[in-house]
A and B are shown apart, each in its own frame.
Chain A
């Protein structure tokens, strides 16, 4: 288990094969499904702290934003999805920027959320379970929490309970 505190405005952290650049006004994290190295091109400034934890078949990058919301991104270190973000989880007083967080999965999420909205209460929990995308979100202002993952990208033997 390795902890690397990242100071404000640091640009690149190298940990084994994993490279990080993170954060903007609200931290810029690697989007779900994207290659972790792709964020190197973001050229975005950091405002927050990062902690990285290696867990065998994957690593967790935990980003604490200055506004108090914690985002964890799960990066596969083995298998066909190696180097890619296969899951994200978040917790805190605000909903993170889902467009940024979900990346190319955002449109699928938005369509599924819209379909649910036609038949459910606006403020009920979000439960989306579609081919290639699971999103769960609940809470209220000051205490939101959720997770999203691409089931097909989970490294072998990693239980979904680990994503939280």
Chain B
């Protein structure tokens, strides 16, 4: 969620420095020696993905955000609303939609076991979502699921508990189009429900709350698997064992990119594993391994379409002056070895471009193949985060824990 407006003011000020010191910005293709990936274009299990700048009213241009349309209906009725610009996120689980003015339907409220409205706090790294859990029939492309709990994001419907305002304070809420940068999040990651613990989510997780009234102080409560906000894919009647994100290669920058979100793995003629290698993840952490630059990120690497760049430690690559991304003097070509928790190994070639140059030379573009940024230094708690640029030019399979899918035990990634 990069704020390009702020960035551009900065860039204009330092424009001369960029043009002299940073050289050209175009990056080489990630997969110059690999034939282009095949992108499914039709089928009841296929829905278009667009990488664009996000909702026009968000106030900024989203970099590397992959969006789809999702239709919600009042359960059991034909009263429906289709919402666009919903971010596809393999790093979370469940559907979250910004409340009014985005969501105009009036959906039934889910109640906690004490009979009070159930409200959720979901922690992301430097933000959180907060709002009531309500039920909707969901349709995405030709796939349907009935009476699905979804989180309706709102700063004001219920009082935000202190423990939820962490990790980054009250200003960290991502409950509006302006703070989320999207109309909602479609979490299609490796879990069937959104609590980090299997089965019943404990009250001590501070994730689900009982709220007696809009102004009452909310109390953490346990949430059964059925009460939690589920990954809607796992509730589809068919094609429910995972998803494939299929996006074309992005060399340098593109204004927009079109691809497909395909439901199911090996369930239709258009979603077979093909020649993809399966990399299983640690079922307890949903991580796998990545070896890079002499460091083995053992059980601390992950693939996440909701991260907008590659994020890893490399002290030899210069940070941008605002520290958010990498700004090498010229594009750097790199290589890493990805390894499954117990099966699957392969080499990933990728490139890191100068982010400031990309944003300056292509101020209206949304897709950047070489966008990357720093992460903490090993052996501190350090992760290798394969964000959306990893998806450009390769079909990435995400198989859901507990589901049966070809190629091995779930949860896994394949590419």
Interface residues of A, Cβ cutoff 8 Å to B: 25-26, 47, 65-68, 89, 91-101, 106-107, 109-111, 113-114, 116-127, 136-147, 160-161, 163-164
Contact = CB atoms under 8 A, between A and B. Distances in A.
Interface string B355-388: 0000000000000000001111001111101000
A143 B286 CA distance: 7
Contact of A123 (B124, B194, B202): B124
A120 B1 CA distance: 6
Interface string B113-139: 000000000111111000000000000
B256 interface: no
Contacts, number: 202
A119 B374 CA distance: 14
**Chain A interface, >50% SS class:** mixed
A138 B311 contact: yes
B108 interface: no
Contacts of A142: 191, 196, 284-286
B309 interface: yes
B168 interface: yes
Given A123-B124, A124-B311, A98 B374 contact: no
**Chain B interface, >50% SS class:** loop
B367 to A, nearest CB: 14
Contacts of B216: none
Most buried by B among A92, A110, A125, A140: A140
Interface in B1-27: 1-3, 6-7
Contacts of B302: 139-140, 143
B376 A127 contact: yes
A126 B196 CA distance: 20
Interface in B296-317: 300, 302, 304, 306-309, 311
Interface in B178-208: 180-181, 189, 191, 194, 196-197, 202-207
A147 B125 contact: no
- Interface range on chain B: under 10, 10 to 19, 20 to 34, or 35 or more? 35 or more
Q: Which 4 A-B pairs have the closest CB atoms?
A: A93-B196, A110-B169, A145-B381, A98-B166
Contacts of B163: 26, 97, 99-100
B1 A121 contact: yes
Contact of B304 (A123, A126, A144): A123
B125 A124 contact: yes
Given A119-B3, A138-B382, A126 B202 contact: no
Contacts of B328: none
B171 interface: yes
Given A67-B205, A145-B381, A124 B307 contact: yes
Nearest to B161: A97
Contact of A125 (B3, B64, B383): B383
B168 A113 contact: yes
Given A117-B127, A141-B196, A98 B168 contact: yes
Contacts of A141: 91-93, 122-124, 189, 191, 194, 196
